[in-house]
């Protein structure tokens, strides 16, 4: 049976590997292993810095932080966001349980409010509100936008999110295009913005397709595509047994 705490393999000294697997101390109480001085503050988590040292990628990581990562959106990033029509959103609740979700809309559906704030609309969906529920407990949110068609490149935008009702959003930003299907907005304060390199990004070709929007017809929406309906669930008080 595999160990619950596998030991990393790499070029790190033993004390660094031990430190990564040890009980974590508050981040402010330890010296960042990637920093060249106690006063240097670098992007990223303590865990990633430890593993960069452990796996021998310290110099490459610091070069990436220094050359590719910003704490705001520059003009090229703003132009890129303005022509994207899909995004992948990652959130986690207060306990760290994660959720990833797909968002889409017309090009520029993610609105750049200024160089440190973006917002995307929440349309009527299945009513679960998994992403919004996570944001209500834990504001940290990550957005990945990928250009699969023209430039084969991606952009990560990480930051702190808050949920704003549509009416309140439009009163503050009257330039937003009216859309009766938008119920609320997620506004993200940008903390990190950086490239996702083109390696392994496939080139896709958009095609015309008729879609049935605004319907609750399960067949038309393919809502039970995976055949989950009718399967016993633990939260129904039913214990599943393997066949």
User: How does pLDDT run across 224-233, given as a tens digit for each residue?
Assistant: 778 888 888 8
Domains held by the chain: number: 2
In a domain, 225, yes or no: no
In a domain, 230, yes or no: no
Final residue before a domain boundary, out of 47, 68, 89: 68
Q: Is 28 helix (H, G, I), strand (E, B) or coil?
A: helix
In a domain, 116, yes or no: yes
Print the domain residue range for 25.
14-68
- 116 lies in the same domain as 145: yes
Q: Is the dihedral of CA 147, 200, 68, 44 positive or negative?
A: positive
CA dist 122 and 105 (Å) reads: 10
Reported pTM: 0.80
pLDDT-derived band at 238, boundaries 50, 70, 90: low
In a domain, 162, yes or no: yes
From the list 39, 32, 81, 88, the residue with the least C-alpha distance to 61 is 32
pLDDT for position 101: 96
- 45 lies in the same domain as 96: no
In a domain, 236, yes or no: no
- 131 lies in the same domain as 116: yes
CA dist 19 and 14 (Å) reads: 9
Instruction: State pLDDT tens for residues 133-157.
Output: 999 999 999 999 999 999 999 999 9
In a domain, 8, yes or no: no
In a domain, 3, yes or no: no
């Amino acid at each position: 049976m595999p160990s619950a705490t596998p030991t990393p393999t790499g070029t790190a000294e033993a004390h660094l590997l031990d430190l990564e697997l040890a009980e974590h101390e508050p981040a402010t109480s330890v010296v960042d292993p990637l920093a060249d001085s106690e006063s240097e503050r670098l992007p990223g988590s303590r865990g990633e810095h430890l593993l960069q040292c452990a796996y021998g990628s310290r110099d490459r990581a610091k070069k990436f932080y220094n050359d590719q990562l910003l704490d705001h959106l520059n003009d090229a990033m703003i132009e890129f966001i303005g022509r994207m029509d899909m995004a992948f959103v990652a959130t986690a609740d207060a306990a760290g349980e994660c959720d990833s979700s797909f968002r889409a809309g017309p090009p520029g559906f993610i609105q750049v409010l200024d160089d440190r704030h973006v917002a995307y609309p929440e349309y009527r969906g299945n009513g679960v509100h998994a992403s919004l529920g996570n944001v209500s407990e834990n504001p940290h949110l990550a957005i990945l936008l990928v250009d699969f068609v023209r430039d084969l490149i991606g952009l990560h935008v990480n930051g702190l999110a808050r949920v704003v009702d549509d009416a309140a959003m439009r009163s503050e930003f009257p330039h937003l295009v009216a859309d009766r299907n938008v119920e609320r907005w997620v506004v993200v304060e940008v903390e990190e913005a950086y490239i996702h390199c083109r390696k392994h990004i496939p080139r896709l070709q958009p095609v015309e397709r008729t879609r049935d929007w605004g319907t609750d017809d399960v067949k038309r929406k393919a809502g039970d595509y995976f055949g989950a309906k009718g399967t016993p669930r633990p939260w129904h008080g039913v214990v599943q047994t393997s066949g």
